[in-house]
Chain A
Amino acid sequence: MKKWMQFVVLITSVSSAGALLASGGGGEEGGGRQLPPVANAKWKAECSSCHMLYHPGLLPERSWQKMMGGLDRHFGENAGLDAPTRDEIARFLAANSADKLDNRRSQRINQSIPASAVPLRISETAYFKDKHNEISPSTYKRKSIASPANCAACHQGAEKGDFSESLVKIPR
């Protein structure tokens, strides 16, 4: 083959291989990698006034149950709700919790939590710590981030349940 044709074949093969490898999104092996979109009007209205909207697939049902049973002491603040609203949100969270969803991230979060543990903080799960082990404590103290609870500061798709690495942008 002529030299230039060899070159074109080489470039084409490398590009195709690269494209195939990069298309990692994946829906082929059971659940996809990202959390599925979920919606509930009361959840959105009541659970994102003070912090970003945390997808129910980030914690197991027992964690949500414990949280919804103690809203008057919600991480040091009173987040009390009337019983019907609280119950509806609790049902929604339970139905879409990490132990119910089949996407890979929820599965991994769930498996990283010992059966006897009932974490309220996503950031205290082994999965979270492992995924963030390259982030120094001082990074979290940046004014633009403030704490590990502020997922949306770095994860641009956080409120949609999309924590893919390609959407991570750590602010200064």
Chain B
Amino acid sequence: MRNALILSGLLISQHVLAATPQELLQQYGAQARQENAAFAGFSADRGANFFRTARTHSDGQKVSCSTCHTADPRNQGKTRASKVIEPMAPTASPQRFTDPAKVEKWFGRNCKDVLERACTAQEKGDFIQYLVNVK
């Protein structure tokens, strides 16, 4: 609960101003440290793995981030209702990871869809680190 409050405070204070991916990584780093004292930073490789891992749901369906975002985050993705999703990688979509509230909203939804649970700050940071590094 305290972590959620700290993060909300950070996010609310950031909301009015556009953030940068680096600032977001700092915020998630702070939260990751709270969640795990042994936190040792974010890894783009772990993030890449996280992005592509296919997970089998309780209903038998296989889902991964790539299901909608495709295997290459520089590509446009497609929702299940055929709507185009702009690329996830900032190198293709510069506005990605500049709005903390938007980032949290989509983590909130898509983690529940893909992982059937909330993502940890470690996972969120690894994910962003991977995408930021994509050329």
A interface residues, Cβ below 8 angstroms from B: 48-52, 72, 75-80, 145-147, 149-150, 153
Contact = CB atoms under 8 A, between A and B. Distances in A.
A52 B113 CA distance: 20
The 6 closest A-B pairs by CB, nearest first: A51-B81, A50-B79, A78-B109, A78-B112, A146-B82, A150-B82
A52 B82 CA distance: 9
Contacts of B108: 78, 80
A48 B83 CA distance: 8
Interface of B: 79-83, 108-110, 112-113
Contact of A51 (B83, B110, B113): B83
A147 B82 contact: yes
A77 B110 CA distance: 8
Contacts of A80: 108-109, 112
A79 B82 CA distance: 16
A48 B81 CA distance: 10
Contact of B83 (A52, A75, A145): A52
Contacts of B80: 50, 75-77
A75 B79 CA distance: 12
A78 B83 CA distance: 16
A149 B82 CA distance: 9
Contacts of B113: 77-78
A50 B79 CA distance: 6
Nearest to A76: B80
Nearest to A74: B109
Centre residue among B80, B82, B113 by max chain A CB count within 10 A: B82
Contacts of A147: 81-82
Nearest to A53: B83
B23 to A, nearest CB: 22
